[in-house]
Structure 1
Amino acid sequence: MPLRSFGRRTARPGAAGLLTLAALTGAGSAHAGTATAQALPAGCSGTSPITCHYAVSPGTYDVTVSVGGTSAGQTEMWAEARRLMLPATRTNAGATATYSFTVNVRQPEGQPTGQGGTGNPGLDIRFSGTAPQVSAVSVKPASQPLVAYLAGDSTVCDQPAAPYTGWGQMITTAVLPGAAIANYADSGESSGSFLSNSALFPTLLAKVRANDPVFIQFGHNDKQTSASAYRSNLTSMITQVRGKGGVPVLVTPPVRRLFDGNRLTPTALHVNGLGVDLPAQMRAVGAAQGVPVIDLTAQSKTLIESLGPTASAQLYLRSSVDGVTDNTHFSQYGATRIDDLVLQSIRGQHLPLASYLR
C-alpha cells in the first residue's frame, strides 16, 4: 500500500517553556562516519537509530522535527512505545523537511498496566530507517488539543515489542497537529475488566474533555461474557463518557484469521463461547444509545476473506517471518491495513477526529 502523504510544515516561534528549534540544534553528539560531522539536537544520541529523550511531565505536547541533513537520508519517526508518527521519508543531501505532531505522553508508556515494561518517564522519540537524519527537534506543551482516546485490548494497544502491533500504534501517522491519540488499550482486557480496572477506564475518563472522542473496542476477551453483561458494560462506558462531554464511538472487534474453507468461522467473527454474537450486540447498543458504530468486524471480514486463507496471513503473525504464528494479533503491515479501515469510517461518519486527519 502507498504511504500516507505528509506535507511540509513550518515550526511555530518559541514561547515561554518551549524547547526551541535553535536551542535543540547542534548541541548533541555528531554522526559517525561522515566527512563533515553533523551535530544532533540536544537530548539526542546515536546514529541508527537516533534516540531522543525529553524530561517532560505526563501530558500532551506539540513536537516539531526537521529530518534530513548533510547527507541523503531515509527517516522514520516513532514516539513513546512504538507509535509511528512519520513513515519512511527520504531527504536529499543538504535538504531538510519539517513536520509537526501532537504527542500524548503517559507514565507508564505503552500499556497502562505496565505490561511489557513501564518505559522511561518523559517523552521518547526514535528516528530509524535505512539512513536516519534529524537536524532539529522542538517540544512544547500543547494548547487545548483534541485528544482521541482508545479503549480496547491487545489488537489496539501500544505493543511494547515487535512484531506485535496494535492498530492504535499506526493510526498516529494520519493525525495532524492539534490532535493526539491517547491509547489506553491494554492486553487481555474484556469490556468488564477494562471498565473496573482503576488504571484503565476510570483513569481515561478523568482526562476526557468536551468533544474528545473515545473509541471503544471490545470482544476478543469477552469469551464468556453474557449478552446482558456486555451490553451493560458498553452502555456504562457510553453514559460516563457523555457525562464528561466526550463523544463515545463503538468499534466492533476486527476478525481473527480462522477459516473454514474460504469463509471465516463464527469464532473468527466473535460469536463467543456462550453463543453471543458480540458485534451484533455492540451494533444494537449503538442503535439504542444513538452512538456512532465503526463496524470493524464487517470491514475486516471483507478484507480478510477477499485475500483468502493464504494471502491474509501477512496481516497477522507468521512463524516464517515473525517467529510466531498468531491469527489474532497483527503485524505492522496488518495493523496499518486495519487502521486504514478505522480511518475510512471516521472520515465517512464525520466523527470529531475527521477534521484532524491528513
Structure 2
Amino acid sequence: MKVTTPSRRRTTLALSAVLIAAGLTIPATAEASPPGLDLAGPKVDPALLDSCTGEDPVVCTFDDLAPGDYDVTVVLGSDDAAASTAVFAESRRQMLTATDTAAGEHVRRAFTVDVRDPEGQQNQPIGTGTPGLSLTFSGDAPAIAGIGIAPALPRTKKIALIGDSTVTDQEAWPYTGWGQRLPAHVGLGATVVNHSGSGESTVSVLAKASMFDALEPQLGTGDVALIQLAHNDKTTTAEQYRANLTEMVDRIRARGATPVLVTPIVRLRFTNGVINPVGLIVTDLADLPAEMRDVAAQLDVPLIDLTQRSRELVESLGPVESEPIYLIRINGDRTHTSEYGAGVYAGIVAEELQKLDLLPASIWR
C-alpha cells in the first residue's frame, strides 16, 4: 500500500472517512464527482486496512464475514505517488478496472460482492476457497487508502449466471470466464451470482443438487438469471435440450425472476475464413444456438445472442487477429477465453443486458 508511516496512514484515513461520509473525495487535483452509486457506499473504516498485506498486489481478507451480499467502498490512490489500481474480489472476479490517480489524489468507488461457499466454481466441494471476503488490489502501481464494508441492502438485485467453463469463476490463470469480468460493469444495487461450473450442460445442471437446485432458492422478484449452456451438450438431442431449457425457464419464472437465454460464445474454429459448425456449437444431434433461439421465441424469453455477437467479432478480426481473445497462444485452447477475451465478452453481455432494460439503469457502471 502506498503509505509511509503508521501515524501518517491513520491521519490520512481519518480525513478520508470524514470527507467520504460527506460525499467527497480528497484529491490534490480537482476531479469530477464519482457516479452516484459510488457516493452511496458504506463509510470507510480505517481499522479494515489492518487486514491487508503486501504491496503488489495488496490482499485484504475479512474471514469473519458469512456468505451473503456485501456493499464495499474502496478509496484508491496514494499521498506520495501516482497509482493505477484494479480491484478483484473472491475468486478473481474483477470489480473495478484499472483506475489511475495522480500523486495526492484519491477516488472513491463502491460495488456489491456476492460471498458464497464455494467461492468459485459451484460444482466444487463446499469449503473450496477462503472463508469470508477477499479483496485484491493489483495493477501497474496499486494503492488503497481506505475500505468500507456493510451488508447489502435488501433491495439488492441479483444477476445470476448458470453456465459452463466459459462463464464460470475460474480459480487458476490463464482460464477466465466472462462471468468473472461481468461485475466490473455493475455497481451498487446489484450483485453478480456466478453459479456456473466447468463441464456443465443442460443435463448435468438439472441433475446435480449443487447446480440449478442450489441456485433456484436464491432467486426472487426483480432478479435476472442468465443461462449459457451448450458447449457440453454434445450428446443432448434437440428435443431434450429444448425441454431442459424450458424447465429452467419455468422454474426461474416461478420464483418471480426473469430468465435470459444466452447463446454460447463461438470456438475459434475457422474454415475458409469463417467460423465452422464446430465453432458455432453445432453437434451431430442439434444446432444448439438455433434451438435456444427458438425456445426464446416460443416462450417469450429475453435472448442475448452471444453466438452471433462473438461470431461477428472474431470473423471481422480474422483467424490470426482474434487469437488473443482465446488461449490458443498460451496453450492451444480454442474454446476458453483469456483474461482479455473474458473482458471483451463480458462487455458484450453487459451491453446486451442493458438493452433489455430488465434492471434499474442506476446499477450499471
- TM-score, normalised relative to structure 1: 0.88
- Once residues 85 and 133 of structure 2 are traced to their aligned partners in structure 1, the CA distance between those partners, rounded to angstroms, is 19
1:140 paired with 2:150, answer yes
For structure 1, the 5+ residue unaligned runs are 15-19, 25-40
User: Given the alignment of the two structures, is residue 223 of structure 1 paired with residue 234 of structure 2, yes or no?
Assistant: yes
SS in 2 for 1:42: helix
Amino acid at match of 1:10: L
Q: Report which stretch shifted further, 230-239 or 105-114.
A: 105-114
Higher helix share: 2
After TM superposition, list the pairs within 5 Å mapping 1:16-35 onto structure 2: 20-24=44-48
Q: CA deviation at 1:273?
A: 2.8
What does the per-residue CA deviation read over 1:64-123, in whole Å, with 9 as the maximum and x for residues that have no partner?
000112222111110000011111111122221110000100111110122898110100
1:10 maps to which of 39, 61, 65:
39
User: Measured at CA, do residues 206 and 118 of structure 1 come closer, stay the same or move farther in structure 2, by a change above 3 Å?
Assistant: same
- Indicate whether 1:151 and 2:159 are aligned: no
Q: State whether residues 157 and 168 of structure 1, in contact with CA within 8 Å, keep that contact through their aligned partners in structure 2.
A: yes
Q: Answer yes or no: is the 8 Å Cα contact 1:11–1:98 preserved in 2.
A: no
Alignment of 1:100-179 (within 5 A): 100-114=110-124, 118-144=128-154, 145-179=156-190
The size of the alignment, in residue pairs, is 329
Distance across 1 between alignment mates of 2:362 and 2:305: 20
1:40-80 C-alpha deviation (Å, 9 max, x unpaired): x1211111110001120000000000011222211111000
> Which region of structure 1 is more displaced relative to structure 2, 85-94 or 182-191?
85-94
Match of 2:60 in 1: 52
CA distance in 2 between partners of 1:86 and 1:269 (Å): 31
Say if 1:354 and 1:111 are closer, same or farther in 2 by CA, change over 3 A.
Answer: farther
Q: How does 1:264-343 map to 2 (within 5 A)?
A: 264-274=275-285, 276-319=286-329, 322=330, 324-343=331-350
One-letter amino acid matched to 1:130: D
Call closer, same or farther: CA 1:172–1:13 in 2, change over 3 Å: closer
State the Cα distance separating 1:347 from its structure 2 match.
Answer: 2.0
**Contact preservation (8 Å) 2:123, 2:196:** no
Aligned match for 2:218, one of 199, 207, 220: 207
Q: Does 1:69 align with 2:98?
A: no
Q: 1:236 to 1:353 in 2, by over 3 A?
A: farther
Which of 98, 112, 116 is equivalent to 1:88?
98
- 8 Å Cα contact 2:41-2:110 kept in structure 1: no
Whole-angstrom distance in 2 between the partners of 1:88 and 1:356:
19
What is the aligned counterpart of 1:43 among 43, 51, 54?
Answer: 51
In 2, Cα distance between equivalents of 1:353 and 1:158: 25
Alpha-carbon distance change, 58 to 116 in structure 1, aligned in 2, over 3 angstroms? closer
8 Å CA contact retained: 2:117, 2:127: no
Give distance in 2, aligned partners of 1:143 and 1:354: 17
Deviations 1:243-293 (A, max 9, x none): 11010000000100000010111111111132x000111111111111001
Counterpart amino acid of 1:138? G
Q: Per-residue displacement from partner, 1:146-194 (whole Å, max 9, x unpaired)?
A: 0110000000000111111100111111102110100001000001101
Distance 1:172 1:150 in 2: 12
Which of 251, 256, 270 lines up with 2:262 in the alignment?
251
- Correspondence for 1:35: none
AA aligned opposite 2:141: A
Find the aligned partners of 1:149 and 1:132 in 2 and give their Cα distance. 30
Tell me, in whole angstroms, the C-alpha distance in 2 between the residues paired with 1:134 and 1:195.
42
Cα 1:251–1:51 shift into 2, 3 Å: same
Given the two structures, how large is their TM-score scaled by the length of structure 2?
Answer: 0.87
Moved over 4 A (4+): 11-14
Pair 1:188–1:12, CA change in 2 (3 A): closer
CA contact (8 A) 2:222 2:359 kept: yes
- Do the aligned partners of residues 12 and 256 (structure 1) sit closer, same or farther apart at CA in structure 2, a change above 3 Å counting? closer
Instruction: Indicate conservation of the 8 Å contact 1:159/1:165, yes or no.
Output: yes
The 1-side partners of 2:201 and 2:237 are apart by 12
Query: Using the alignment, how far apart are the partners of 2:102 and 2:252 within structure 1?
Result: 47
Q: Cα RMSD (Å) of the superposition? A: 1.8
The one-letter amino acid of 1:197's match is: K
How far apart are the structure 1 equivalents of 2:120 and 2:68?
A: 14
Q: Report the Cα offset of residue 11 of structure 1.
A: 5.7
Label 1:46 to 1:11 Cα distance change in 2 as closer, same or farther (>3 A). Answer: farther
1:179/1:299 Cα in 2 relative to 1: closer, same or farther (>3 Å)? same
Match for 2:248 among 207, 212, 237?
237
Separation in structure 2 between the aligned mates of residue 226 and residue 303 of structure 1, nearest angstrom = 29
